[in-house]
Amino acid sequence: MKHIDEYRDKGLIMKLMDLIKRSADRNYTFMEVCGGHTTAIHRFGIAALLPENIKLISGPGCPVCVTENSFIDKAIAYSKMNGVIITTFGDLIRVPGSGSSLEKEKAQGGDIRIVFSGLEALDIAKGNSDKKVIFLGIGFETTAPGTAVTIKEADMAGVRNFYLLSAHKVMPPAMEVIIKEGVALNGFICPGHVAAITGSSAFSFISGKYYIGCVITGFEPVDMLQAIFMLVNQVNSSSPETEIQYTRAVTKEGNIIAQRHMKDIFMLRDDHWRGFGTIASSGLRLRKEYEQFDVEKVIPVNVKNHEENVLCICSDILRGLKTPLDCSLFTRTCVPENPVGACMVSNEGACNTFYKYRLNE
Amino acid sequence: MKEHATHFINTGLMNEYVSLNHGSGGSLTNKLIRNVFVKRFGLAEPLTDSAVLKEAGIMLAFTTDSYVVDPIFFPGGDIGKLAVCGTVNDLAVSGAMPRYISSSFIIEEGFSFHDLILIADSMSLEAKKAGVKIVTGDTKVVEKGKCDKIFITTSGIGILSPGLEHISTGKNVKPGDKLIINGPVGNHAIAVLGARKKLTFNSPVTSDCASLNHLISKVLDECDEIHFMRDLTRGGLAIVLNELTHLILSGIVINESSVPVEEPVKGLCEILGFDPLYLANEGKVLFVAGDDEYKKVLSVLHSHPLGKYSEVIGEVVENDRNLVILNTAIGGRRILDMPSGMQLPRIC
């Protein structure tokens, strides 16, 4: 991987900053939808460089943060069954469910393994034919195609002990909910990697129908500042549209092959989002033809819904209504090693990011 | 028994369990050590890599470390080499001359003699290179599945020359002192991860696993103003800097663009979401040098093969007490915090 330094070039950054400062003649609020962008903003100290009249707020684009507790509770329930191996991305392991976390269950003997991909989980299934291997599928359009390919591979190889517990979601419906809730926004810094799959066209209804500008953005400092400059210009000229800043990865149509894999394997369902409630057609479940891999169909479990900590404001943070600094638990009882809400758990969560990089915020 | 139970309740640990994060070297490890071990063993603060002991007019440094790396062979080293280097380095950074090492093995039933001999040869070679003698040890074999292949514990004794006692506690560190590291960070963690996950890189990433005692003694021989040293292992540069701010009660400012990171490590970190400043190393040491002498320290380091790529990465400041501030490569500022959990388990 090369050319990282070019996108972090201080001279170029200063030029962009100068352009932004000269163009920004009013107040602007932009939402960075993706957790990767939230991380970049704080990791590189971008927020501290921006003029005061440009405010960035974090959106719902951290998959761990918007996953409901009941998903973790289900995964834990499965982990307690005999002969089950749970495979998961590392981020999920510390997320608190109602009473425990996968990490705690692992410490007490649950066979819970961290993997870097669905295919790695499938390999574990192939090597443990006497066990049931459940992969916790989580993420937006960026990770869903990988899961889809894994299911296809499992099907072709005739693997019968591999299952998916899906928390996969799609991004645009959540953005629409935020708009409908009336969060005051002048533009979206749209997720570059989601759009690499979906194409920019998946976001164009936002500028078309709601007159809010969208810029599909990469994850380096230069990308983000260029996108902010583009959004400022859209606001100034009252011409909201869906533009691509991240042209080196994103096209209007997106990755057709990945889209096809997703369509082959998944269908949309109404899904629960932490902080949002149920959003229509926002989640991905396996199609009927692949139901033998759907652990919820093959081995149904029931978990109770439970009340979350009433003081936790993750739900408002995820909808861009509040920031971590508005939370009475933040840094007091809610810290990365003892998280109360999901935004503190995930590396890309707004609270975790604010905590890690807190300074001049 | 009753008294023990009370202690558990007082530390709030009665209903808790040890998780992998307690072994990350970060703040949870710190809590475990302080809440469980320090008061029960009567350990003296500050906690350093080696204990400095005075017996019959001689100052000894004494240290111990366990090695559980997975996989046991990785590009640039193996668990045996690591077990020697790690203990040699813990002694060397306290200013001591490493002399004697013990070596205990816990071996899983069914482990191949071929691999055991490779590991023993590697330890013997590394001990010769470092100039230490392996003088005692222990061997236990456990049933299959009760440990993962082989775990090694090494302890070491070194001799500390008078006038160097301050190094491990950092008590002479003062604002204006410069921070120097002896080369690029993150290679060990990425090499181990690559070997474990069979990741293929454009160019090979090799562990930096090396005994640093010759490099360090060259610096100590030629320079007078070394105020602190610590090897960068689990938790990487970030953890050492945070521990240092708590020892010295001042702040530290680091310039991100001055911290050397090799291109493939940088690339892999971007893909996997790691920060190289938090990644484990096994052949890197942080020096804190007096402002008057840091250029000399740097040139001595540059003259040694293990210090060729040394860089000044920041300095000690009067403000921002107990904080590590990072000037980001693009001109922003942020905190470089103590890692709370693990980036990667069983890296050393």
Handedness of CA B227, B233, B237, B238 (dihedral sign): negative
Asked whether the predicted pLDDT for residue B252 surpasses 50, the reply is yes
Give residue-wise pLDDT tens across range B184-235: 999 999 999 888 876 666 568 999 999 999 999 999 999 999 999 999 998 8
Q: Give chain A positions within 8 Å (CB) of B267.
A: 1-2, 4
Closest by Cβ to B334, choosing from A45, A221, A335? A45
In a 10 Å sphere around its CB, with 0-12 CB exposed, 13-18 middle and 19+ buried, how is residue B206 labelled? middle
Contact B14, B8 (CB under 8 A): yes
Asked if the C-beta of A103 comes within 8 angstroms of chain B's C-beta atoms, the answer is yes
In this prediction, residue B225 carries a pLDDT of: 96
Helix (H) or strand (E) holding A251: none
Q: Which of A317-321, B38-42, B160-164, B233-237 has the lowest mean pLDDT?
A: A317-321
Asked if the C-beta of A3 comes within 8 angstroms of chain B's C-beta atoms, the answer is no
Residues with Cβ within 8 Å of residue A305, at least 6 apart in sequence:
A70
Band (pLDDT 50/70/90 cuts) for residue A316 is: confident
In this prediction, residue A258 carries a pLDDT of: 97
Spatial separation of the C-alpha atoms in residues B143 and B150, rounded to whole Å: 12
Higher-confidence position of B35 and B114: B114
Asked if the C-beta of A336 comes within 8 angstroms of chain B's C-beta atoms, the answer is yes
Q: What are phi and psi of B191, to 5 degrees?
A: -65, -40
Could you state, in order of their start, the residue ranges of all structural domains in chain B?
1-43, 46-167, 170-335
| Bond prior to A172 in cis (omega within 30° of 0) | no
Test A359 with B18 for CB contact under 8 angstroms: no
Test A45 with B332 for CB contact under 8 angstroms: yes
Q: Which of A136-140, B54-58, B205-209 has the lowest mean pLDDT?
A: B54-58
Asked if the C-beta of A210 comes within 8 angstroms of chain B's C-beta atoms, the answer is no
Q: Nearest CA of chain B to the CA of A361: how many Å?
A: 9
Which amino acid would we find at residue A268? L
Higher-confidence position of B338 and B303: B303
Asked whether the predicted pLDDT for residue B346 surpasses 80, the reply is no
Which one of 3.20.20.20, 3.40.50.2300, 3.40.50.300, 3.90.650.10 gives the CATH number of domain B170-335? 3.90.650.10
* Complete domains list, chain A, with CATH: 68-168+282-298 (3.40.50.11740), 314-357 (no CATH)
In this prediction, residue A189 carries a pLDDT of: 98
Neighbours of A233 (CB within 10 A): 17
Give residue-wise pLDDT tens across range A99-133: 888 988 998 899 999 998 999 999 999 999 999 99
Band (pLDDT 50/70/90 cuts) for residue A65 is: confident
In this prediction, residue B272 carries a pLDDT of: 79
In this prediction, residue A318 carries a pLDDT of: 84
Asked whether the predicted pLDDT for residue B6 surpasses 50, the reply is no
Asked whether the predicted pLDDT for residue A92 surpasses 90, the reply is no
Test A43 with B334 for CB contact under 8 angstroms: yes
Test B19 with A103 for CB contact under 8 angstroms: yes
Test B340 with A335 for CB contact under 8 angstroms: yes
In this prediction, residue A1 carries a pLDDT of: 52
Asked if the C-beta of B322 comes within 8 angstroms of chain A's C-beta atoms, the answer is no
Spatial separation of the C-alpha atoms in residues A178 and A47, rounded to whole Å: 22
Q: Nearest CA of chain A to the CA of B46: how many Å?
A: 23
Closest by Cβ to B332, choosing from A46, A107, A108? A46
Q: What are phi and psi of A236, to 5 degrees?
A: -60, -35
Q: What is the mean predicted confidence (pLDDT) over B69-78?
A: 95
- pTM of the predicted model as reported, rounded to 2 decimal places: 0.83
Return the top range by mean pLDDT from A67-71, A198-202, A301-305, B200-204. Answer: A198-202
Residues with Cβ within 8 Å of residue A332, at least 6 apart in sequence:
none
Give residue-wise pLDDT tens across range A215-229: 999 999 999 999 999
Asked whether the predicted pLDDT for residue B342 surpasses 80, the reply is no
Closest by Cβ to A13, choosing from B202, B266, B331? B331
Give residue-wise pLDDT tens across range A230-278: 999 999 999 999 999 999 999 999 999 999 999 999 999 999 988 788 9
Band (pLDDT 50/70/90 cuts) for residue A198 is: very high
Contact B268, B121 (CB under 8 A): no
In a 10 Å sphere around its CB, with 0-12 CB exposed, 13-18 middle and 19+ buried, how is residue B109 labelled? exposed
Q: Give chain A positions within 8 Å (CB) of B186.
A: none
Q: Give chain B positions within 8 Å (CB) of A358.
A: 334-335
Asked if the C-beta of A180 comes within 8 angstroms of chain B's C-beta atoms, the answer is no
Neighbours of A3 (CB within 10 A): 9
Q: Which of A180-184, A243-247, A265-269, B307-311 has the lowest mean pLDDT?
A: A180-184
Q: Where are the alpha helices (DSSP H) in A130-240?
A: 144-156, 172-180, 192-198, 204-210, 221-236
Test A355 with B27 for CB contact under 8 angstroms: no
In this prediction, residue A360 carries a pLDDT of: 45
Give residue-wise pLDDT tens across range B169-181: 999 999 999 999 9
Q: Which of A169-178, A337-346, B10-19, B59-68 has the lowest mean pLDDT?
A: B10-19
In this prediction, residue A295 carries a pLDDT of: 98
Give residue-wise pLDDT tens across range B106-115: 999 999 999 9
Asked whether the predicted pLDDT for residue A361 surpasses 70, the reply is no
Helix (H) or strand (E) holding B49: none
Q: Which of A180-194, A206-220, B186-200 has the lowest mean pLDDT?
A: B186-200
Q: Taking CA atoms, what residue in B is nearest to A219?
A: B270
Asked if the C-beta of B331 comes within 8 angstroms of chain A's C-beta atoms, the answer is yes
**Rounded percentage of chain A residues whose pLDDT exceeds 90:** 67
In this prediction, residue B8 carries a pLDDT of: 44
The reply to whether ipTM tops 0.85 is no
Asked whether the predicted pLDDT for residue A28 surpasses 50, the reply is yes
In this prediction, residue A315 carries a pLDDT of: 83
Are both B46-167 and B170-335 of the same fold?
no
The total number of residues shown for chain A amounts to: 361
Cα dihedral B93→B96→B97→B100 (10° resolution): -100
Q: Nearest CA of chain A to the CA of B122: how many Å?
A: 31
Residues with Cβ within 8 Å of residue A223, at least 6 apart in sequence:
A7, A192, A217, A245, A246
Helix (H) or strand (E) holding B85: helix B79-92
Q: Give chain A positions within 8 Å (CB) of B19.
A: 103-104, 106-107
- B46-167 fold: 60s Ribosomal Protein L30; Chain: A; (3.30.1330)
Asked if the C-beta of A21 comes within 8 angstroms of chain B's C-beta atoms, the answer is no
Q: Give chain A positions within 8 Å (CB) of B322.
A: none
In this prediction, residue B22 carries a pLDDT of: 86
